[in-house]
Amino acid sequence: MAAREFGGLPHQWQFGRTDLLAKNWLESLDLAWQPDPLLDPENPNAGPGASPVAWTAAKRAAFNAIVGEIEELQMLMQDDRDRYLAEIIEQADGSAGYITAFIDTSESQRPWTMELINCGYAIGNVAYFYYKQQFRRVRPSTLCPGLAPPFGPPAHPSFISGHSFIGHLIALLLLEIPALRQRYGMFAAPYDGTPGKVVSPYPAVTISLANPTVVTLSALTAHGLSAGDQITFRPLSGGQPLPAPLVAGTTYYVLVAGLTANSFEISAAANGAPIDTTPAGGGAPVPALLLANPLMGRGELTSPLLWLAERIAKNRERLGVHYASDSAGSRHIAAGIWRALLHDDTTSGINCPTLSSVLAHATAEWPTKWP
């Protein structure tokens, strides 16, 4: 029933390339393998930058991205596959068993938790097969037969990875249960002794009161942003306003100066002057939200359950049936759909009453004394 409710709202989750990027359900690096069709001058819906030169450059960049990913898969085949093959075989059709063993539960112990996992599979199968049909990416072993997967590859397209999508979606659903979140949620790095925290529907950041202002991730370990990327902020609900001159919902640009894995400087225009927030009076950095994917970037996720999802995804790469961008794209679309299902009360949210009911029953199976 959850899958029927989800599938009955196609306009809430079936999007093309442009909308996926605009909604932060995908990141540009996830689609580096695909030349932007808007640059093709023969495309009836070509964008303003379309030209033979731009299209040739886009195809060349995509080819280089594919070659780089295949070379990475060759290294995984040579260095990792033998050591992980038993686990890979077990996860091929048994990822649900890995997840339930990880959280130490079963059908007899917690039937509603198992039903929540079933809902994740049902919704996920509908979603990821739609995107496989849309992108139709060939398997890496088709382009490089020398990858020689010991079994498979599956006959359906490569992007997005079903195993990665299901793993991340189910992990996010299970982390809605407070007792599981406390055990397997987002932990501080280095560990500070506190229980696991929730996965924020929008990445939490702090904005320094300085010149130049520096934006730093609070929970995620890497943002995956590049110089020139556009970003927007909003204040925490009931929290401090954004420091002046920042305005909620306004587009800002990432600068190359000061760009690290988990922090960056911003400007009001592409390649513009760094923004100065010292007029705000100085003091502690201001907490805020970055309007981006909940699992943005490709950095390590400090949640044991999400770590398991990443491991399942990486094993599909070790097998030689998925590219790294398949795994990352699945992570991002799964997070976008999770947010729309459970944390979006606007018109863009996905109303799935069955999922909400099952989640409430599953939560009751995991008592906890902590909030």
Residues 2-187+303-364, CATH architecture: Up-down Bundle (1.20)
The C-alpha torsion from 145 through 59 and 128 to 308, rounded to 10°, is 70
Q: Give the strands of the sheet with 214-217, arranged side by side.
A: 230-231, 252-254, 263-267, 214-217, 204-207, 286-290, 233-235
> What pLDDT score was predicted for residue 283?
82
Q: How high is the pLDDT of residue 171? A: 97
Q: Within the chain, how many helices (H) and strands (E) appear?
A: 12, 7
How high is the pLDDT of residue 280?
A: 55
Q: Measured between alpha carbons, how far is residue 167 from residues 128, 308, 314 in Å?
A: 12, 8, 11
Contacts 24+ apart (CB under 8 A), 114-119: 115/358, 115/361, 115/362, 116/173, 116/174, 116/358, 116/359, 116/362, 117/170, 117/173, 117/174, 119/2, 119/3, 119/173, 119/354, 119/355, 119/358
Radius of gyration of the chain (CA): 21
DSSP 39: G
Strand partners, 267: 253, 274
Sequence length of the chain is: 371
Give the 3-state secondary structure percentages of the chain, helix then strand then coil, rounded to 5: 45, 10, 45
Closest CA to 3 of 363, 369, 295, 358: 358
Fold type of domain 202-292: Elongation Factor Tu (Ef-tu); domain 3 (2.40.30)
pLDDT the model gives residue 197: 92
pLDDT at 191: 82
User: pLDDT value at position 282?
Assistant: 67
Question: Which pLDDT value is given to residue 281?
Answer: 58
Domain locations along the chain: 2-187+303-364, 202-292
- Phi, psi for residue 252 in degrees, rounded to 5: -125, 170
Q: Which residues 6+ apart lie within 8 Å of 180 measured at CB?
A: 103, 174, 305, 366
The Cα 110–Cα 76 span in angstroms is 37
Q: Would you say 166 and 95 are in contact if contact means Cβ atoms under 8 Å apart?
A: yes
Count Cβ neighbours within 10 Å for each residue of 164-187 and write b for 16 or more, e otherwise. bbbbbbbbbbbbbbbbbbbbbbbb
- pTM for the predicted model, two decimal places: 0.93
Q: Which two tokens stand for residue 54?
A: 């731009």
208-221 confidence digits (pLDDT tens): 998 899 999 988 88
Q: What is the pLDDT along the chain (371 residues), one digit of tens a residue?
A: 999 999 999 999 999 999 999 999 999 999 999 999 999 999 999 889 899 999 999 999 999 999 999 999 999 999 999 999 999 999 888 888 889 999 999 999 999 999 999 999 999 999 999 999 999 999 999 999 999 999 888 899 999 999 999 999 999 999 999 999 999 999 987 888 899 999 999 999 999 998 899 999 988 888 889 888 999 999 998 888 999 899 999 999 999 988 999 999 999 998 899 999 987 556 889 999 999 999 999 999 999 999 999 999 999 999 999 999 999 999 999 999 999 999 998 999 999 999 999 999 999 999 998 87
Share of the chain above pLDDT 90, in %: 82
Residue 57, pLDDT score: 96
